Amino acid sequence: MEPLSNWEGRTEQARDDLTAALVAGLLATLDRAGPDPARGEPAPPGAHWMLGQPRVPVSQVGPDGHPARGGFLPPVPLPRRMWAGSRLDFVHPLCVGDHVTRTSTVVSVREKTGSSGDLVFVEVDHVWSVGRPAVRERQTIVYRGDGARRSVPAAPPGPWPLHRTVATDPVLLFRYSALTFNGHRIHYDAPYARDVEGYPGLVVHAPLMATLLLDLCSASIGGHRIATFSFRGESPAIAGERLTLLGRPGDDTVTLAVLGEDGRLVQSAEATLAG
């Protein structure tokens, strides 16, 4: 097999339109009522994840529902794939009606062996542009073996002035998968999630939880004051759990977290604010 490091530097590009229907669908999925968004209206932070996603024919889909490995992303032989985290720079607002180009580059492929078994970390840079860069992201994808597990950090101490609870169910996960053209079966195929990947049930998307945190932050300080945002997955969230979203504003940062129903830390995040 070709060395995985040979995938470093590979690029792909896609074009998409940020339509009013897409933004309205995202707002409805976030349980935000209101009139349909107008052309030229800024989209909520997190809308970029709906744009430029790979749309390969069904014949080119792998057994997990993602595009088959060995195209843009390397053919990592480990069975379980997860979106471990991202760092985002919000450079310029994306608006309803924008024609957007997404350019993606594989930055690094690192193989490791640790106490939890074999791991492969793939870092990918994405840039969503409208004539100029609007959103930049460094995404970390982790591939693991069947039995790989890691300890869960304790939930950070309070106080948390910002808080909200969100009920998760298969409908919420289905809507977000449809909006982002995400075919990963762990989000909609419960027997696959349990019997093949070893989860207790359907898994809540990492970017869905990140978008919910961005929405919590936006409601408090204004969505277009967010300059950077980073998140890290700490433990899986399973459909049916009632998640707690937490936020603690500082002078120019907001510390954020998602807790599971049992109080465990599911996702940690931080936003920095523009002046």
Task: Tell me what the mean pLDDT of segment 171-187 comes to.
Answer: 96
Please state, in angstroms and rounded to a whole number, the distance separating the CA atoms of residues 217 and 231.
13
Pairing outcome for strands 80-90 and 133-144: antiparallel
- How far apart CA 201 and CA 190 sit, in angstroms, is 6
Task: Give the tens place of pLDDT for each residue, 76-103.
Answer: 988 888 999 999 999 999 999 999 999 9
Confidence of residue 274 (pLDDT cuts 50, 70, 90): confident
Tell me, what's the pLDDT at 148? 53
Which one is predicted more confidently, 156 or 118? Answer: 118
Contact residues for 114 (Cβ-Cβ < 8 A; gap 6+):
none
pLDDT at 225: 85
Nearest to 237 by CA among 180, 164, 169, 148: 169
Q: Quick one: CA dihedral 65, 191, 208, 95, positive or negative?
A: positive
Is residue 151's pLDDT more than 70? no
Predicted local distance difference test score (pLDDT) of residue 150: 60
List domains and CATH numbers for the chain.
Answer: 4-273 (3.10.129.10)
pLDDT score of 163 more than 90: yes
pLDDT at 196: 92
For the chain, give the percent of residues with pLDDT over 70: 96
Angle between helices 170-180 and 20-29 (to 10 degrees): 160
**Dihedral sign (CA 184, 187, 188, 192):** positive
**pLDDT, mean of residues 22-37:** 91
Per the DSSP assignment, residues forming a β-bridge with 138 are 87, 125
Q: Residue 135 has what pLDDT?
A: 98
153 has pLDDT over 80: no
Q: What is the per-residue pLDDT for 44?
A: 93
Full DSSP string of 245-275: EEEEE-SSEEEEEEE-TTS-EEEEEEEEE--
**Number of helical H runs and strand E runs in the chain:** 4, 10
Q: How many Å apart are CA 256 and CA 244, to the nearest integer? A: 11
The CA dihedral of 185, 188, 189, 193, to the nearest 10 degrees, is 70
Compute the average pLDDT of residues 15-20: 97
Q: Look at residue 12 and tell me whether its pLDDT is greater than 90.
A: yes
Provide the b/e sequence for 252-272 (b: ≥16 CB within 10 Å).
Answer: eebbbbbbbeeebbbbbbbbb
Q: Using one digit for the tens of pLDDT, what is the confidence trace for 43-81?
A: 999 999 999 998 889 998 889 888 888 788 899 988 888
For residue 136, give Cα distances in angstroms to 86, 114, 186.
10, 31, 27
Question: pLDDT tens for residues 186-232?
Answer: 999 999 999 999 999 999 999 999 999 999 999 888 767 899 999 99
Asked if pLDDT for residue 10 goes beyond 70, the answer is yes
Please report which confidence band the pLDDT of residue 147 belongs to, taking 50, 70 and 90 as the band edges: low
**Mean pLDDT for the stretch of residues 3-31:** 94
Look up tokens 């809507």; give the residue. 175
In whole angstroms, what is the distance from residue 75 CA to residue 67 CA?
A: 11
Look over the chain and give the mean of its residue pLDDT values, rounded to a whole number. 92
Q: Is the pLDDT of residue 108 over 70?
A: yes
Shortest CA distance to 208 belongs to which of 227, 234, 182? 182
